[in-house]
């Protein structure tokens, strides 16, 4: 006959108190993350508004990410500093470039 001691332990996973504590902690964390997101969006909006008020030129970067024209060029530029991690891809791209022309 097993001894039923688990239900008397404070760290028991399925006890009602611990289940409620976990739900409350998850709700607190979710509320904290939402508040953090709202604060980040507000800060970003304030930065944009400040840059518009100061009359920043349009070509200055203000949180704008421009698309790259040719992603294959960036692979060869980035692979130089990565200790040859993309050496195979780099050689394969070099082999493919003359065949495209």
Residue ranges of the domains in the chain?
Answer: 11-55, 69-101
Q: List C-alpha distances in Å: 11 to 7, 8, 29, 61, 71.
A: 9, 9, 21, 52, 53
CA angle at 15 for the pair 12 and 20, rounded to the nearest 5°: 115
| pTM for the structure as a whole | 0.46
The pLDDT tens digits of the residues spanning 66-95 come to: 566 665 555 555 545 556 667 777 788 888
The pLDDT tens digits of the residues spanning 15-50 come to: 999 999 999 999 999 999 999 999 999 999 999 999
Is-contact 90 76, C-beta < 8 A?
yes
């Amino acid at each position: 006959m097993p001894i039923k001691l688990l239900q008397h332990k404070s760290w028991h996973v399925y006890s009602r108190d611990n289940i409620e504590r976990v739900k409350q902690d998850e709700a607190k964390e979710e509320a904290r993350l939402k508040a953090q997101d709202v604060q980040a969006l507000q800060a970003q909006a304030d930065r944009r508004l400040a840059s518009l008020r100061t009359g920043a030129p349009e070509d200055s970067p203000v949180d704008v990410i421009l698309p790259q024209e040719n992603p294959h060029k960036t692979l060869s530029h980035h692979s130089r500093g990565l200790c040859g991690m993309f050496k195979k891809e780099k050689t394969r791209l070099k082999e493919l470039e003359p065949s495209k022309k």
